[in-house]
Structure 1
Amino acid sequence: MSDDTDSPPEREMKDFKFRQMKKVQVFEPAEELPKDRSSLLTVSNKYGLTFVGLDRTFKVYMTQDILTADKAEGNSNVVVKGMPVLSAVTVGLNLHHLALSCDELTLSVCGESEETGLFISFYDVRTFMNKARPQKLPFASLQPAVDPGTLVQDLKWNPAQTSMLAACLSDGSMMILDVTDVVKVQAQLPPTSGITCISWSPKGKQVAAGKMNATVSQYTPALEEKKVIPPPHFYTSDEPVKALDVIWLRTFVFAVVYAAADGCLETPPDLVLISIPKKDEKVETKYLNFGDSVYGSCTERQHHYFLSHIEDWDLLFAASAASIEVSVMARQDEKMWELWILEDASRAELPVTETNEDTLPLGLAMDFTSQQEIQITDEKTLPPAPTMLMLSTEGLLCPFSLLNENPGVKQLVAPPVPLALEGERQPKPGSLTSQPAKPAAVVLSVPALFPNIGLTSAAASSAPAPAAATPSSTPLFSVVPTAPVSSSSSAFAFSVPTTFSTSSITSTFPLGGSAPLGLGSSSFSVASNTPPAPSTFSFSTPPIKLPAASASTPQNLSAASPPAIKLNLNERFSAVETPAPTFLFNSTIPKSVGSSSSIVAVPPLSATKPPTMAPVRQ
């Protein structure tokens, strides 16, 4: 895609190796190759947790269990199955992004469906450790007012401010969010900005945003543009490019991936290192073109680069959604960045399938918690090392130890600390925020989570009498508890708030729940082949008609926010926590000794008699 006049030096490196560890089966292989851009793997190095997602489910594992699996009998090609799961949550959305806040106490989960559109939900990580709360629910959620099919293109939490994150969407818009008990949009840029990727500065004071026009802009958290980095000179207008991915390495150093602006999947992206001059330097911006360093071959998936930087080692790792391998860029002794050429047995490559087809990454993360010594030979043992984890399209979690035997490198691993449950955030009134509808959209559906909810808005005080709820046979959300369900029989009824804006359109909001399937354990059991006994139920509530609102460039919403629809969860899932008479379960599912999963839904709301819940085989 470009000439090689600015190509970096290459070095054959024998002192750095990826050591393949035993793979862990965390999901069944996808029926079809996932093609959309996704990032479905993240780890908590502070608390020793690993989060993985695929389709409509995400799971939480103890990282120690994943690392200990390498001690199982057999060679490194063995796949370990039956890994203990700390928590598994199934939602009514197709997931495409998982990420952790800098204090590693908030997990953002992004998903989309045709019925509900895009949702960004936020879970307290302590919830996944809390056995007393079998249903794992987000404490806050955001429903952006975007066109159907819009996804989160990129999302990065601020590395210094625990509640702040930046997100850009596939329509070109960008938001700065503040996530506390509720989600607040602090500032945003409209789709015409053409934002394609984002990365915070190492200290979190500014955010870099790559764009469709191949520039990279530096913004403050209020989205005030401070500087623009022009595209490399070796790209021409005859073959325009866009910024595909970006990572802010140091104050004046960026790594940017450029791809064909027309989205052509046959044209491989280029990875370019950019060094911008300091304020007092009178030199030009330098571009170092590493090209397609991973030799991508797949032309079916959307282009996406997974970039990870280990600052203490001055190493940059790059994986592509179209390639099986990982490339390594390094800078030694403050010299120029170079491409390391590793020995064949020292490379990190995803395995092929049983039919000898490539598997490709859905996510990449670095773990620094391993306390296991690494046995190289009978005579040679190395101290614990960082671990690179990759989630493959076959549902395999593939770990690689990073063996860096270059002189003077720091030992970077440290054991995780226990996670206390104190301070766990739970859903509260107003914890779900819906942005105002676009001018073309007259009605914005309001998600219905649980019975006994109250919907509030700025127009609620002047709203007329509520419209009657319209029964629907379509499940509005699903909850997947993995704890045994009581077989006691009882009916349940709903109490519906009396203040709504009138509307005849029902709304949906999928959520999920789960129960702990097992705590961290060094032993692995074989996964049961017994299918779960799911059950379904549904209900509907009148949605809200919102006033239209227009966007400005940029607009700061922290001072004067438009009316937001908020969800009252005061009476959330009372059947689980308190014996509230308005929400009781009727189930014929027998108790079980082991772990189990089920999908629960709520029957249509009836004004004449309370509905009952019966298990339905899926």
Structure 2
Amino acid sequence: MTDEAGIGPSERQVNTLIFQQLCRFQIFDEKPETLSPKERFQLVAVSAKYGYAFIGTNSATIKVIKIDDLVRISDERQESPGTTVSDYPHEKLSLSDKPLHIAVDCQEQVISVITKGDANLRVHIFDIVNVCKQASSAKAFLTTGLSKETDVDLIDLQWNPVTPSLFAVCLSDGTAELWTWSEGKLSLLSSLPQIFKADAFCWSPKGKQIVIGTNDGQLLQFTHNMEQKKIVPKPDFTNEAVKVVDILWISTFMWVVAYIDEEETVQPNLAIVHAPKEQPVSFINFEDICYGSGEDRKSKYYMKFLDKWGFVIASSGNSMETGILGHKPDVKTSWDVWTLEDTARVELPLCDSDDTFLWDLP
């Protein structure tokens, strides 16, 4: 999926951005191979409000760790950066099955946990204060099935960035659903049927709309009641059939979109999609900025936009490298791949001389 003109993505050397590795904390009690390699995991969530990290393990538990403890331990080991620490204070939240996805709502009131096991996908909602205070005895106050079919997998779950009681899910059968909870009850607010071929989604920054990525490369924009507002066509930088893997909504008319070929024979390509009103849609293809090489897991891009600094940090579930896309200070529609110094990049460490891949980007 390269540009027809053969011109590579724009790059810029940035020496003022530096990432530094501190300690390594061992999360899994056994080797990660005990996890199913095909899942699109999201096993890390953080509450800045309460100062805790919630990390899924390779058993039916979530480790609840005070962030101050991680910082303290890292500070104590400044003379030996990169040290692996296996003994640190934490609590364990017990589940019925292994966690597939963990997320915290926008007001940090609740934690959602997706499990599957031998049954259908289920979402469990926990009170975040109860989990932080005493994880070992915390219980979900809401649980519901997301699909009646046992062969349906989770593509993604995202809480609305403004409305704390609202979240959306995308499922492997091509459906997308909006759920809300109140007074101890989960309710389906609206849904898109399989005919829309949903394969990814993202909330708008203000939470008023949602964009759906389809398995034929389109972006479809909807309101909360699934009234369609816009259609963005498949990218013009390739003649191949492509589908959308993941989306990050940057601004009103701009997204970062991960596209992959229909047969998933190559790693996803990241593109900036700009679709202003009554103007042509533009696509800037940056190809695979994470240099992915793994093929064992389903394709997934973890992306975070740091608006204050004007860059997107992106990691691939099938790569040990992390890429940076940044816009120019005076032209927010002009983007480059930021190239950092070798010692300033984010790279996952080797594990027993083998590559390790990312489980989440909080």
Query: 2:142 maps to what in 1?
Result: 140
Task: Give, in whole Å, the separation in 1 of the partners of 2:131 and 2:171.
Answer: 28
Deviation at 1:134, TM superposition (A): 4.8
Q: Which residue of 8, 23, 38 maps to 2:41?
A: 38
The answer to whether residue 219 in structure 2 is matched with residue 220 in structure 1 is no
* SS of residue matched to 1:197: strand
Deviation at 1:145, TM superposition (A): 3.3
Query: 2:159 maps to what in 1?
Result: 157
Task: Give, in whole Å, the separation in 2 of the partners of 1:107 and 1:364.
Answer: 16
Task: Give, in whole Å, the separation in 1 of the partners of 2:110 and 2:16.
Answer: 37
Larger radius of gyration: 1
Task: Give, in whole Å, the separation in 2 of the partners of 1:97 and 1:247.
Answer: 18
Ranked by relative contact order (alpha carbons within 8 Å, sequence separation 6 or more), the top structure is 1
Task: Give, in whole Å, the separation in 1 of the partners of 2:228 and 2:281.
Answer: 19
Map 1:202-601; keep pairs closer than 5 Å.
202-236=205-239, 239-262=240-263, 264=264, 266-278=265-277, 282-335=278-331, 336-354=334-352, 356-365=353-362
Deviation at 1:4, TM superposition (A): 5.9
Query: 1:66 maps to what in 2?
Result: 70
Asked whether the equivalents of residues 325 and 338 of structure 2 are also in contact (C-alpha less than 8 Å), the reply is yes
| Higher strand proportion | 2
Deviation digits for residues 156-208 of structure 1 (CA, Å, limit 9, x no counterpart): 11111110011111111111000222100001112232111111111001011
The answer to whether residue 111 in structure 2 is matched with residue 107 in structure 1 is yes
Task: Give, in whole Å, the separation in 2 of the partners of 1:337 and 1:24.
Answer: 34
Asked whether the equivalents of residues 303 and 314 of structure 2 are also in contact (C-alpha less than 8 Å), the reply is yes
Map 1:7-26; keep pairs closer than 5 Å.
7-26=8-27
Summarize the Cα distance change of 1:301–1:161 in structure 2 as closer, same or farther, 3 Å threshold. Answer: same
Counterpart AA for 1:246: I
Aligned residues: 354
Q: Which residue of 78, 93, 97 maps to 1:93?
A: 97
Task: Give, in whole Å, the separation in 2 of the partners of 1:90 and 1:215.
Answer: 40
Asked whether the equivalents of residues 112 and 149 of structure 1 are also in contact (C-alpha less than 8 Å), the reply is no
Deviation at 1:2, TM superposition (A): 2.2
Counterpart AA for 1:107: I
Counterpart AA for 1:112: K
* SS of residue matched to 1:129: helix
Deviation at 1:213, TM superposition (A): 1.2
Task: Give, in whole Å, the separation in 2 of the partners of 1:146 and 1:245.
Answer: 25
Task: Give, in whole Å, the separation in 2 of the partners of 1:301 and 1:327.
Answer: 19
Asked whether the equivalents of residues 4 and 289 of structure 1 are also in contact (C-alpha less than 8 Å), the reply is no
The answer to whether residue 83 in structure 2 is matched with residue 78 in structure 1 is yes
Summarize the Cα distance change of 1:134–1:352 in structure 2 as closer, same or farther, 3 Å threshold. Answer: closer
Task: Give, in whole Å, the separation in 1 of the partners of 2:61 and 2:152.
Answer: 20
Task: Give, in whole Å, the separation in 1 of the partners of 2:56 and 2:178.
Answer: 24
Alignment gaps of 5+ in structure 1: 366-618
Sequence identity (%): 30
Asked whether the equivalents of residues 51 and 58 of structure 1 are also in contact (C-alpha less than 8 Å), the reply is yes
Asked whether the equivalents of residues 93 and 131 of structure 2 are also in contact (C-alpha less than 8 Å), the reply is no
Deviation at 1:68, TM superposition (A): 2.1
- What is the TM-score when the length of structure 2 is the normalising length? 0.94
Asked whether the equivalents of residues 326 and 349 of structure 1 are also in contact (C-alpha less than 8 Å), the reply is yes
* SS of residue matched to 1:18: coil
Task: Give, in whole Å, the separation in 1 of the partners of 2:4 and 2:69.
Answer: 45
The answer to whether residue 167 in structure 2 is matched with residue 183 in structure 1 is no
Deviation at 1:296, TM superposition (A): 0.3
Asked whether the equivalents of residues 111 and 151 of structure 1 are also in contact (C-alpha less than 8 Å), the reply is no
RMSD: 1.6
* SS of residue matched to 2:308: helix
Task: Give, in whole Å, the separation in 1 of the partners of 2:303 and 2:257.
Answer: 10
The answer to whether residue 57 in structure 2 is matched with residue 54 in structure 1 is yes
Query: 2:131 maps to what in 1?
Result: 128
Deviation digits for residues 104-136 of structure 1 (CA, Å, limit 9, x no counterpart): 11111001011x2211110110111344x8521
* SS of residue matched to 1:69: helix
60-69 vs 31-40, which moves further: 31-40
Query: 1:426 maps to what in 2?
Result: none
Task: Give, in whole Å, the separation in 1 of the partners of 2:21 and 2:133.
Answer: 33
Task: Give, in whole Å, the separation in 2 of the partners of 1:94 and 1:171.
Answer: 22
Alignment gaps of 5+ in structure 2: none
Summarize the Cα distance change of 1:249–1:130 in structure 2 as closer, same or farther, 3 Å threshold. Answer: same
35-44 vs 288-297, which moves further: 35-44
Counterpart AA for 1:68: R
Task: Give, in whole Å, the separation in 2 of the partners of 1:320 and 1:31.
Answer: 18
